[in-house]
Copies of this chain bind each other. A is one copy, B any other.
Amino acid sequence: MGGDFAPASVVTGALEALREAQGRFSVILVGQRDKIQAEIAKNGELAEHEMVRKHYSIEQAEEVIEMHDSPTAALKSKRNSSIGIGLTLQREKKAHAFVSAGNTGAVMSASTLILGRLKHVGRPTIGALIPTAKSPALLVDAGANVDCRAKHLLEFGLMGSIYVSSMLGKTNPVVGLLNIGEEGSKGNAAAVEAYGLMKESSLNFVGNVEGRDLLKGEVDVIVCDGFVGNVLLKFGESIPAFFKAKVTRIAEQSLRQKLIALLARGTLRGVMKELDYQEHGGVPLLGVNGVSIIGHGRSTPKAIKNMIFRAEETAVRQVPRRIEQAMLHLPE
Contact = CB atoms under 8 A, between A and B. Distances in A.
A251 B178 CA distance: 32
A244 to B, nearest CB: 10
Contact of A180 (B143, B189, B246): B143
Contacts of A251: 267
Given A227-B180, A250-B271, A239 B215 contact: yes
A255 interface: no
Nearest to A145: B188
A133 interface: yes
A247 interface: yes
Contact of A178 (B188, B231, B274): B231
Contact of A210 (B212, B234, B247, B257): B234
Given A188-B227, A227-B228, A257-B267, A180 B238 contact: no
Sorting the interface of chain A by its residue count into under 10, 10 to 19, 20 to 34 or 35 or more gives 35 or more
Contacts of A243: 243, 271
Contacts of A238: 211-216
Interface in A224-246: 224-228, 230-239, 242-243, 245-246
Interface string A150-178: 00000000000000000000000000001
B250 A235 contact: no
Interface stretch (A13-21, A41-49, A111-119, A258-266): A258-266
A174 to B, nearest CB: 18
Contacts of A271: 243, 246-247, 250
Given A180-B230, A234-B212, A260 B267 contact: yes
Interface string A182-217: 000001110100000000000000000011111110
Contact of A274 (B210, B213, B237, B246): B246
Contact of A226 (B180, B247, B266): B180
In the A-B complex, the 8 residue pairs with the smallest Cβ-Cβ separation, listed nearest first, are A211-B234, A211-B235, A264-B264, A211-B231, A212-B238, A212-B234, A180-B230, A146-B188
Interface of A: 133, 143, 146-147, 178-180, 187-189, 191, 210-216, 224-228, 230-239, 242-243, 245-247, 250-251, 257, 260-261, 263-264, 266-267, 270-271, 274
